[in-house]
Amino acid sequence: MSRTWVTPGGVHPPENKHQSVTQPIGQLPIPEKLIIPLSQHIGAAATPCVEIGQSVLKGQVIAEATGMVSIPMHAPSSGIVSAIEHRPIAHSSGMLAPCIEITTDGADSWIEHQGISDYEHISPRKLIEMVGNAGISGMGGAGFPSAVKLNPGRQRPIDTLIVNATECEPYITADDSAIRERAGEIVEGIKILSAILDHPHHILIGIEDNKPEAIEALAPHVEGTGISVVVFPTKYPSGGEKQLIYILTGKELPSGKLPADEGVVCINIGTTYAIKRAVIDGEPLISRVTTVTGDAVATPRNYDTLIGTPVSHLLEHSQFDEQAGGRVVMGGPMMGFTLPSADVPIVKTTNCILAPSYAEIPDDEPAQPCIRCGMCAEACPASLLPQQLFWYAQAQEHDRLEAHNLFDCIECGACSYVCPSNIPLVQYYRAAKGEIRQAREEKVKSDHARDRFEFHKERIEQAEREKEAKRAARREATQQAKADHAAATANGSAAAPSKATPTGATPSSSAADIIAAAQARAAAKQASPEDQRAKLERTIASAEQRLKMAEEKLAEAISSDSGKQDQLSAAVENTRQKLEQTKSKLAELAE
């Protein structure tokens, strides 16, 4: 399996990796405040489960996972929750996002925790649960929750596990130094992964040939384990997921497909270390190795950094010279972004804090027009046509951008790096992707609005139709009653034509017509005998009530000898009569 394939494109920027590996991984004093953003990864943000003022222990869950693609957050050190509010986070927008702030007490006391050593005898499902509960998300790239990645489902059997130790971006040495010092634990983590994935046929550690010490450190640990360390020539960006899979297996991932669709799972080497800590030591992901480098810091070095440590704390302990460097970049020089302020916290994906001097990474020169030299197309590792994408992005031709596979762009920055006109190409692609995504969302929203509007219209129309039908029924009933009367008059019969007509009415008069019509309407309304009975029963009940009240009043009036006696007794009589009538009607109906 030592054969490797060569990806298209790629560039060779100055590596600048030696500066930060002269010293071993350092430990920083615990910062006074830790700020933990609730969303550090792709997927739903975690939900806080602590209150302000609550004291927390190191490793305690402070925010729970929300839904499937989400991970919990843990307190990186012991202390008191001092704020749950919006804070600046490491995001190119410079916007605020919900964070939990912990004021540390310096004791750094752990919550009770326990790992398991015989992971071989534990079901993969349980292991995946442990990984999820430990809050582990990918530590190399976008930070996808690892538990989701490790659960590809039965229909997608995994035959290759790839461990990404490429670290192709200049300056960054976090993975390199971690391998040098923690190779044993990393290999242990890979074995756990192998158990979770039901022992895939191939387990490959992909590493570039610019890390000989790391390769040497891994060698004794992988011996006899079936894990092979595959070394390939250094080129940027070999560490992209799709690129690495191609380099190691020759499999090209189709556009829009996930590695699991091809039977591959790709995990960052830093993540394997975190998985080992989670399963065997029972420790959640609360710290990571972060490189602090660049000419503006006097002591470039890797630190085992607590998640939530403010960047300013790291810079302070690295003797950052603000005069020498204008900006602080999170990530490397190719894919990183300038931080809006040094107060933002380190998150689970922060592998590097780069503080370059002005001379090292000068400000961008003004962009010149595209001369169609085609160097970007040669550098593109995804075999796209960057200059075409650039034109279409400028013209905002979204259809063409998608036809030219804009979404396969991994935003590695190789095209911008080689561009002789200094055009910030990647920025165009990012903007275009954002616009297309927004347009898609709006489309979904407008389709939804259309459905609702159509439903609304349909409902109004239906209500209108029902009203119209009722009106028609009434009209018909009136006409029917009129016709009945007319027939009765013609026959010269004085008897009531329908039972609803009151006795003694004069059929010829127009007033009687109207009354008859009203009665017919009432009859039409109350067609069913059950309804009628129910109504009559209600009437009886209320009449009885009234009668009782009237009698009471009468008794009162008699006792007090007021002038209302006659009036009240008449009312009582009236009510009683009505009650009798209703009762007899009910009896009639019952027959």
- Collect all residues with Cβ–Cβ distance below 8 Å to 526 and sequence separation of at least 6: 532, 535
Please tell me whether residue 467 binds another protein under the rule CB under 8 A.
no
514 contacts another protein (rule: CB under 8 A): no
Of residues 26 and 424, the one with the C-beta less far from another protein: 424
Q: How far is the CB of 240 from another protein (least distance, A)?
A: 20
**Applying CB under 8 A, which of residues 32, 316, 442, 466 lies at the interface with another protein?**
442
Residues 6+ apart with CB under 8 A from 129: 147
Nearer to another protein, 110 or 337 (CB): 337
Kindly state whether residue 281 participates in binding another protein, applying the rule CB under 8 A.
no
Distance CA 481, CA 518 (A): 9
* Residue 103: exposure state from Cβ atoms within 10 A (0-12, 13-18, ≥19): middle
Q: Is 457 in the site for another protein (CB under 8 A)?
A: yes
By the rule CB under 8 A, 424 interacts with another protein: yes
Other residues' Cβ atoms within 10 Å of the Cβ of residue 479: 12
Cβ neighbourhood burial of 368 (10 Å; 0-12, 13-18, 19+)? exposed
Q: Which stretch binds another protein (CB under 8 A): 22-30, 289-297, 317-325, 434-442?
A: 434-442
Using the rule CB under 8 A, which residue among 53, 369, 492, 504 binds another protein?
369
Which listed residue (68, 403, 449, 486) binds another protein by CB under 8 A? 449
Within 327-366, the residues that bind another protein by CB under 8 A are: 366
The span from the first CA to the last CA of the chain, in angstroms, equals 96
Among the listed residues 201, 456, 465, 535, the single contact to another protein using CB under 8 A: 456
Q: Does 434 bind another protein (CB under 8 A)?
A: yes
The stretch near another protein (CB under 8 A) out of 13-21, 84-92, 254-262, 281-289 is 84-92
The DSSP call for residue 120 is G
From 209, 254, 455, 589, residue interacting with another protein (rule: CB under 8 A): 455
If the CB atoms of residues 433 and 553 are measured against another protein, the closer one turns out to be: 433
Cβ(68)–Cβ(42) under 8 Å? no
- Told to check if 299 binds another protein by CB under 8 A, we report no
| Only segment of 132-140, 281-289, 435-443, 506-514 that touches another protein (CB under 8 A) | 435-443
Cβ–Cβ < 8 Å for 282, 131: no
Among 18, 126, 257, 450, binds another protein (CB under 8 A): 450
Neighbours of 476 (CB within 10 A): 12
Give the phi and the psi of residue 338 in degrees, each rounded to 5: -70, 135
Q: Are the C-beta atoms of residues 33 and 102 closer than 8 Å to each other? A: yes
Is there binding between residue 427 and another protein (CB under 8 A)?
Answer: yes
Count of positions on this chain that bind another protein (CB under 8 A): 41
453 binding another protein? (CB under 8 A): yes
The pair of three-digit structure tokens given for residue 447, joined into one six-digit string:
């389709």
- Give the nearer residue to another protein in terms of CB position, either 445 or 548: 445
DSSP string, 269-320: HHHHHHHHHHHHS---S-EEEEEEESTTBSS-EEEEEETT-BHHHHHHTTTB
Q: Residue 166 or residue 387: which is nearer to another protein going by CB?
A: 387
**Phi and psi, residue 312, nearest 5°:** -60, -35
Least Å distance, CB 437 to another protein, is 7
Q: Is the peptide bond between 284 and the residue preceding it cis, with omega within 30 degrees of 0?
A: no
Which is nearer to another protein, 55 or 66 (by Cβ)? 66
Whole-angstrom distance, CA of residue 460 vs CA of residue 455: 9
- One-letter amino acid for residue 240 of the chain: G
Q: Which is nearer to another protein, 414 or 432 (CB)?
A: 432
Q: How crowded is the C-beta side of 100, counted as CA atoms within 13 Å? A: 32
Stretch that binds another protein, among 119-127, 147-155, 209-217, 438-446 (CB under 8 A): 438-446
Binder of another protein out of 23, 54, 446, 584 (CB under 8 A): 446
**Is position 403 an interface residue for another protein (rule: CB under 8 A)?**
no
- In eight-state DSSP terms, residue 179 is H
What are residue 29's phi and psi, to 5 degrees?
-60, 150
Q: Which of 496, 494, 348 is CA-nearest to residue 43? A: 348
Residues 92-121 within binding reach of another protein (CB under 8 A): 92-93, 95-97
Binder among 125, 199, 372, 437 for another protein (CB under 8 A): 437
Among 368, 491, 493, 567, interactor with another protein by CB under 8 A: 368
Binding interface with another protein (CB under 8 A): 89, 91-93, 95-97, 366-370, 393-394, 396, 421, 423-424, 427-428, 430-435, 437-438, 441-442, 445-450, 452-453, 455-457
